[in-house]
Every structure is written in C-alpha cells, then in structure tokens.
Amino acid sequence: MKLTEAKAQFIASWGAFGSHWGINRTMAQIHALLMISPDPLTQDDIMEQLNISRGNVNMNIRELIDWALVDRVIVPGERKEYFSAEKDIWKVARLIVKERKKRELDPMLKLLDQLREVEGDKKDKNVKQFTDTVNGIKRFGEQADKMLEVLVKSDESWFIGSLMKFFK
C-alpha cells in the first residue's frame, strides 16, 4: 500500500473511531493528520489536506487545544501559527480519559447522589427498584472513577507493567 492511500485510510478510520468515542469526526481527523505528520502544520495545510473550510479547522483545532491533544507551535521567522499533536498514544489516552471523566462521569455521579434521596415509602416497589438501581450505578461509577483516576495519573511503564502482571 502506498503512503498516500494509507494516510487517507488512517485518517478516515480514526475519524470514524473518534466519533464513537465522544470526539467529533473532523476533530479526530485533524488529530489523526497531525499525529502522522512529522512536522507541525498550519491551518491552511489542514484545510487543503482534509478538504475542509477554514472556520471548521479553526474551531476544531481550538477544541483539540482545549483537550490538550494539540499544541500551538511557534516557528521562528514565520508569521503563521503551526500546530502539532501529542503523539504518545498513552498520553493521548490519558488526556481523553481525563477530559471525559470531568465532562461526563463526574456530573453523573453528582446527579446520582441527589437521586438517591428520593422521598417515598421504602415498601413501595417502585421506590425500592429506583433506589436500588441508582445505588447500584452509583457504587459502580465510584469504582470506575477510582480506576480512571489512577490511570490518568499513571505513567505508562508502571501501569502496563503492573497490569501485565495482574492479568498474567
């Protein structure tokens, strides 16, 4: 397979993959393009290579910078801004987990806490099933939260090393 074709495939799949994981298609494609580019790119490079508009590139680049997946790079003597992606996939995973935990898991756990205090007769099976379900999810969520926290804070070698042993 030729590099050009391989690149196109990689970018397309990373985009599709990302869109299942809470990252929008274009944002993931830009990230993919930057991950396989040895040098930083400008907005115009990205527009051209992905065939998307300037506004689109700009918004999604900003979002990627928010997630800390992409950095602005200053190239001395150049007027334009350049961008480069975090290429260490473990770091990428940690950044994504960190961001999604903050945006989704934490608010959900907070809500579940409130919902546990529903008023009503404990003997009513509707109340019972509701609180049982909410409590179950809360406990599960707390476990997940703890694990993810460790993952986010870990460095690869330690994490992989320990886990490899753990899972035999």
**Site residues (CB under 7 A) for DNA?**
19, 24-26, 42-44, 51-56, 58-62, 79-81
Q: Quick one: tokens of 65?
A: 């910078």
Report yes or no: 50 and 66 within 8 Å, Cβ to Cβ.
no
Which residue number, 32 or 134, has a Cβ lying nearer to DNA? Answer: 32
Among 55, 117, 122, 123, binds a copy of itself (CB under 8 A): 117
Least separation in angstroms between CB 53 and a copy of itself: 25
Within 44-83, which residues bind a copy of itself (CB under 8 A)?
Answer: none
Q: Which stretch binds a copy of itself (CB under 8 A): 32-40, 50-58, 63-71, 76-84?
A: 32-40
Can you tell me which of 75, 140, 142, 155 binds a copy of itself, judged by CB under 8 A? 140
In angstroms, the CA 113 to CA 107 distance is 10
Question: Distance from CA of residue 56 to its chain's centroid?
Answer: 19
- Half-sphere exposure for 120 (CA within 13 Å, toward CB): 13
Residue 57, Cβ neighbours under 10 Å: how many? 22
Q: State in angstroms the smallest separation of the CB of 53 from DNA.
A: 3
Rounded CA separation 44/65 (Å): 17
Contacts of residue 59, defined as CB under 8 A and 6 or more positions apart, other chains included, come to none
* Residues in contact with a copy of itself by the rule CB under 8 A: 1-3, 6-7, 9-10, 13, 17, 20-22, 35-38, 87-90, 93, 100, 104, 108, 111, 114-115, 117-120, 125-130, 132-134, 136-137, 140, 143, 146-147, 150, 160, 162-163, 166-167
